[in-house]
Amino acid sequence: MAELNVNIGNLKLKNPVMTASGTFGYGLEYTDFMDINRLGGIFVKGTTIEHREGNAYPRMAETPAGMLNAVGLQNKGARYFAEHIYPEIKDYDTHMIVNVSGSTIESYIECAEVIAQLDHVPAIELNISCPNVKEGGMAFGVTCQGAADVVRAVRNVYPKTLIVKLSPNVTDITEIARTVEAEGADAVSLINTMLGMAIDVEKRRPVLSTITGGLSGPCVKPIAVRMVWQTYNAIKIPIIGMGGISNWKDAVEFMLAGSTAIQIGTYNFIDPAVSLKVIDGINEYCDRHGFKSASELTGAMMK
Amino acid sequence: MKKYIMDMKVTENLRLHQNYCLLKLSPEEELPEMLPGQFVEVKVDNATTFLRRPISINYIDRSKNELWLLIQIVGDGTLSLSNLKADDVVNIILPLGNSFTIPAEANGQELLLIGGGVGTAPMLYLGDFLKKLGFSPSFLLGARSAKDVLQIADFEALGNVYITTEDGSLGEKGYVTQHSVLKNKRFDRIYTCGPKPMMVAVAKVASEASIDCEVSLENTMACGIGACLCCVEKTTDGHICVCTEGPVFNIKKLTWLN
């Protein structure tokens, strides 16, 4: 039995396995299938200061080994979350981390301030990489200047653990990672979805109402592993790796590439209890390879 | 209702015709309570299908602990399901979604269950459920031609069956909304499932005649449990998930007729 706990800045996780924002609701959707208390953390649905209806249907297209989505941050707003959802989830024995998004720097600040008031939310994941909203979202995450501005502004008002979620839709993800590290982020998480597109050839129309959407699932995994590895070699703060993880082997791969912890996203839709199998698999792997602690896996790739 | 992930053994897989199969499945444990209108998410094990396939509950045979799924072969996923053999094991998440509203009192209630194409699937379980509660449901089944009208004998065992086909090869020629029974008989409630243009037409007929009407939607979905927010329908309350707050909606809640 290996030690599974890992640290993301000051945040202590009981194990490195967490679930990704937008794929796990508020955790409550999964309680019939698994004991969510066993998770290292749950990144709840992307939250904005204002209520958002999201994009028009259709919002999803299946792809080989993955899917495109164009949900567009549908949520009832940070204050609704604080009043109605937070009380339902705050007492679970896992870290509930809120994914915070915005359309202007002011709206990011306002949302982070509302979430900062919630005692049982020890961290936020700043989403500067959502490809599915017209204004803001990814716009901040694809330039160093945009990333610096929003991270600096939120860092000023948010004293707890600040994780910044990076976009893969950039020429060099390490530049953005270095920038957010310099602005005081405690950790980065990557990757968000890759911008993609699908066309219904019979109808000669785009499948998604927004034409383009975010690609996720096993099909993006090699790209995500590469970006984690590049980022690991560029920054000192912890990396939370994700992108197509569907079993313990994928999770270990992300850790060897440099992740301190991982998130499971799209595969929750295929196997709602996959994350627990990943925890057990990491433990078994550590025992088999003589690692006393899961934290030793980070960056432990042989060269 | 509590949801379960279950491995189920294929007891029988009948090819009803070229494009449809009836997949009968049985788990080792007892099937949980399931309501008419609910659906299941079926894991497909092939190289090309990633997501589970949402399939409505066609029938529950309690005596055999059997779940029936009527499957239209549309793409690789449903083709794989149609090729399953007896004793193959399939992973299922169930029961999902809400259910059709059952009137409180059976007395004098004239209920019409309208299904188009593979949309007839949930009507069999709904009809069976209603009949066991003392209702006398009627069925209006629509299809392209005679060979596409499925499970007729099963429906006839539950109530009056009216049929329309587009080519006139069985029943009245035309669409379900053109069937004479809609003019000749007064119904208190209509339940429908089928292609969206058909359901919109049925909703219109029901609305004009002030008949209470529920439709079952089949928006493209990923998770089936309200986590991904991909399958939303625009309603009077904004975008809501078809997989959890549907698939059954009263037409008053939808924005189709506005």
Got the DSSP string for B187-252?
Answer: -SEEEEES-HHHHHHHHHHHHHTT-EEEEE-----SSSSSSS--SEEEETTEEEETTTT-SEEEGG
Q: What confidence tier does A44 reach under pLDDT thresholds 50, 70, 90?
A: very high
Integer Cα distance of B62 and A218 in angstroms: 39
Quickly list H helices, A93-134.
105-116
Residue predicted with more confidence, B106 or A127: A127
- Quick one: pLDDT at residue B26? 98
- The confidence score (pLDDT) of residue A135 equals 64
Look at residue A280 and give its three-state secondary structure: helix
CATH fold label, B4-96? Elongation Factor Tu (Ef-tu); domain 3 (2.40.30)
In chain A, which residues have their Cβ closer than 8 Å to the Cβ of B94? none
Give the closest of B50, B224, B227 to A217, CB-based: B50
Interface test with B, best of A28, A34, A45, A59 (most B CBs within 10 A): A59
**Tokens 């949309």 -> residue:** B119
Ramachandran bin of B131, using left for φ above 0, alpha for ψ from -120 to 50, beta for the remaining angles: alpha
Cα separation, A268 vs B223, whole angstroms: 8
Among the four given CATH numbers 2.60.40.1180, 3.60.21.10, 3.10.450.50, 3.20.20.70, the one describing domain A6-297: 3.20.20.70
Instruction: Name B210's Cβ contacts closer than 8 Å, sequence gap at least 6.
Output: none
The closest of B95, B89, B86 to B31, measured between CA atoms, is B95
The CATH-assigned architecture of domain B100-216 is 3-Layer(aba) Sandwich (3.40)
Q: In terms of DSSP bridges, do strands A199-200 and A194-197 run parallel, antiparallel, or are they unpaired?
A: unpaired
Domain range annotation of chain A: 6-297
Out of A54, A58, A269, closest to residue B223 by CB:
A269
Task: State pLDDT tens for residues B99-135.
Answer: 999 999 888 899 999 999 999 999 999 999 999 999 9
Residues A108 and A157 sit within 8 Å (Cβ to Cβ): no
A97-to-A184, B81, B164, B174 alpha-carbon distances in Å = 18, 39, 54, 55
Bridge partners (DSSP) listed for residue A189: A165, A240
Q: Where are the beta strands (DSSP E) in B57-126?
A: 59-61, 66-72, 89-96, 111-116
**Average pLDDT for A99-105:** 94
Q: What's residue A303's pLDDT?
A: 83
Question: Residue A137: what pLDDT?
Answer: 66
Please give the C-alpha separations between residue B28 and each of B65, B66, B145, in angstroms, as whole numbers. Answer: 9, 10, 39
Q: Work out the mean pLDDT of chain B and round it to a whole number.
A: 97
Helix (H) or strand (E) holding A6: strand A6-8
B37's tokens:
């209108």
ipTM over 0.90: yes
From the candidates B223, B244, B255, which should be mutated to test the interface with A, based on the most A CB atoms within 10 A?
B223
Q: Tell me if chain B has a CB within 8 Å of the CB of A28.
A: no
The answer to whether residue A211 scores a pLDDT higher than 70 is yes
Residues whose CB is less than 8 angstroms from the CB of residue B178 and which lie 6 or more positions away in sequence, other chains included: B164, B172
Q: What is the pLDDT of residue A130?
A: 74
Is A54's CB within 8 Å of B225's CB? no
Confidence grade of residue B17 (pLDDT, cut at 50, 70, 90): confident
The total of other beta-carbon atoms located within 10 Å of residue B156's CB is 11
Inter-residue contact B100 to B247 (CB < 8 Å) = no
Q: Which positions ≥6 away from A270 have C-beta within 8 Å?
A: A246, B43, B50, B51, B52
Structure tokens at B195: 């292609």
Q: Where are the domains of chain B?
A: 4-96, 100-216, 218-258
CB contact under 8 A, B229 and A32: no
Contact with chain B for residue A83, Cβ under 8 A: no
Question: What 8-state DSSP symbol labels residue B69?
Answer: E
Model pLDDT, residue A136: 61
Q: Return the pLDDT at B32.
A: 97
**Band (A23; pLDDT cuts 50, 70, 90):** very high
* Topology of the domain covering B218-258: Dihydroorotate dehydrogenase B (pyrk subunit); domain 3 (2.10.240)
- The confidence score (pLDDT) of residue A98 equals 98
Q: Which residues of A are tagged catalytic?
A: 130
* Mean pLDDT calculated for residue range B82-88: 97
Any residues with CB less than 8 A from the CB of A88 and at least 6 apart, and which?
A26, A28
Neighbours of A140 (CB within 10 A): 28
Provide the 8-state DSSP code for A260.
S
Question: How far does the CA of residue A290 sit from the closest CA of chain B (Å)?
Answer: 34
* A65 closest CB neighbour out of B50, B226, B230: B50
List C-alpha distances in Å: B166 to A214, A218, B113, B142, B203: 40, 43, 19, 8, 19
Strand order in the sheet with B59-61: B53-56, B39-42, B89-96, B4-17, B20-27, B66-72, B59-61
For residues B157 and B159, what is the distance between their CA atoms, to the nearest angstrom?
Answer: 6
A66-69 vs A212-216, strand pairing mode:
antiparallel
pLDDT, mean of residues A76-85:
98
- pLDDT at position B107: 84
Residue A273 has its nearest CB partner, among B5, B233, B238, at B5
Average pLDDT of span A115-126: 98
At CA A221, angle to CA A216 and CA A222, rounded to 5?
140
Q: What pLDDT score was predicted for residue B106?
A: 83
- Per-residue pLDDT, averaged over B21-41, amounts to 98
Q: Is B6 in a helix, a strand, or coil?
A: strand
**Tokens 């313990």 belong to which residue?**
A248
**Which pLDDT does position A134 carry in this prediction?**
64
pLDDT band at A38 (very low <50, low <70, confident <90, very high): very high
Question: What is the nearest CA distance from A278 to chain B, expressed in angstroms?
Answer: 17
pLDDT digits (tens, 9 = 90+) for A4-22: 999 999 999 999 999 999 9
